[in-house]
């Protein structure tokens, strides 16, 4: 796996990978005119400000108001960081958004948090979001993604169904999943291997678990419940079966793939 390489990038706190924001086609994301090098401390502080001042209307996920999608950087009235700051300071009286009385430091932190996709764990980097149409071609072709993932009924269900992944994940977490799947793997998705006392070996991905049973989707994409009392072995791996695309796709292709994944929304 590429864990050591990721660590080498993370530890200095600066990503060498930057930062193309390509907005040639739908879904259209707001262009970012910054290099996104916000301080980690700002992102964390911005999270606190957001919870205190913004979440009551915009929601914890930043999508509760109209077409605004804060984690994806979709705002009708602001593009640049400065515009975003002015909008926050002045509010939108006709829509009911009040002016925010915040100091400069809090304002910068809030913008950093929004640009980090409302994810306090996001690294201090903005993510290149490319062309969704090209990303789709990569998803279905060169990337080989459909051999494990399903979108809109096409592809395997062995790995998580990505039909609405754009509603669930931020650009930075998608990027992390593509570059370092193991580090980004949601614990519920950890692969399991089980052997039954009568000699069957079962591999799959957990959907649900309790003390006595575990519900999985197996490698043949079947819904299966295992009774733990029937098992002679039950192993939960922390290594993702998904390959890293760090060396398989170019930065532009990764950006396009992220653009495509962000376009996958339920409605």
Residue closer to another protein (CB basis): 4 or 267:
267
How far apart (Å, rounded) are the C-alpha atoms in residues 96 and 104?
A: 23
DSSP 60: T
Residues 5, 247: contact at Cβ < 8 Å? no
Transcribe 107-138 into DSSP letters.
HHHHHHHHHTTS-TTS-S-------HHHHHHH
Residue closer to another protein (CB basis): 41 or 238:
238
Residue 55 phi, psi dihedral angles, 5° rounding: -65, -25
Rule CB under 8 A: say whether 65 interacts with another protein: no
Residue closer to another protein (CB basis): 119 or 161:
161
Piece of the chain touching another protein by CB under 8 A; list 37-45, 48-56, 221-229, 248-256: 221-229
Piece of the chain touching another protein by CB under 8 A; list 36-44, 73-81, 100-108, 153-161: 153-161
Lookup result for tokens 């922390």: 238
Rule CB under 8 A: say whether 163 interacts with another protein: yes
Q: Is the dihedral of CA 25, 33, 58, 100 positive or negative?
A: negative
Rule CB under 8 A: say whether 224 interacts with another protein: yes
Residue closer to another protein (CB basis): 73 or 166:
166
CB of 180 to another protein, least distance (A): 22
CB of 147 to another protein, least distance (A): 15
Contacts of 104 (CB under 8 A, 6+ apart): none
How far apart (Å, rounded) are the C-alpha atoms in residues 6 and 2?
A: 6
Q: HEC states along 43-106?
A: HHHHHHHHHHHCHHHHCCCCCCCCCCECCCCECCCCCCHHHHHHHHHHCEHHHCECCCCCCHHH
Rounded to 10°, the helix 81-90/104-115 angle is 120
Residue closer to another protein (CB basis): 76 or 222:
222
Structure tokens given for 183: 């580090």
Candidate residues 26, 33, 82, 233; the one interacting with another protein per rule CB under 8 A: 233
Site for another protein in 170-209 (CB under 8 A): 195, 197, 199-202, 207-208
Site for another protein in 75-94 (CB under 8 A): none
CB of 227 to another protein, least distance (A): 8
Residues 132, 25: contact at Cβ < 8 Å? yes
Candidate residues 186, 232, 247, 250; the one interacting with another protein per rule CB under 8 A: 232
Piece of the chain touching another protein by CB under 8 A; list 43-51, 61-69, 75-83, 230-238: 230-238
* Interface ranges with another protein (CB under 8 A): 150, 152-153, 157, 160-161, 163-164, 195, 197, 199-202, 207-208, 210, 213, 215, 217-218, 220-225, 227-228, 231-236, 266-267
């Amino acid at each position: 796996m590429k864990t050591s390489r990721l660590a080498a990038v993370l530890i200095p706190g600066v990503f060498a990978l930057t930062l193309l924001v390509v907005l040639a086609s739908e879904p259209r994301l707001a262009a970012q005119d910054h290099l996104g090098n916000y301080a980690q401390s700002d992102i964390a502080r911005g999270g606190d400000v957001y919870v205190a001042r913004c979440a009551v209307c915009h929601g914890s996920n930043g999508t509760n108001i109209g077409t605004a999608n804060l984690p994806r950087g979709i705002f009708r009235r602001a593009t640049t960081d400065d515009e975003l700051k002015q909008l926050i300071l002045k509010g939108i009286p006709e829509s009911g958004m009040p002016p925010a009385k915040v100091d400069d430091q809090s304002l910068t932190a809030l913008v950093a948090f929004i640009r980090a996709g409302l994810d306090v764990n996001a690294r201090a980097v903005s993510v290149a979001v490319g062309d969704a149409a090209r990303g789709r071609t990569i998803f279905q072709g060169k990337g080989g993604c459909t051999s494990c993932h399903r979108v809109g009924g096409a592809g395997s269900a062995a790995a998580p169904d990505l039909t609405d992944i754009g509603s669930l994940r931020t650009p930075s977490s998608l990027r992390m999943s593509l570059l370092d799947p193991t580090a980004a793997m949601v614990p519920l998705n950890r692969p399991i291997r089980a052997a039954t006392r009568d000699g069957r070996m079962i591999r799959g991905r957990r959907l649900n678990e309790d003390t006595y049973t575990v519900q999985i989707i197996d490698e043949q994409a079947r819904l299966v419940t295992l009774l733990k009392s029937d098992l002679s072995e039950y192993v939960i791996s922390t290594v993702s079966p998904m390959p890293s695309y760090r060396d398989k796709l170019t930065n532009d292709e990764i950006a396009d793939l992220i653009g495509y994944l962000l376009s996958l929304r339920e409605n």
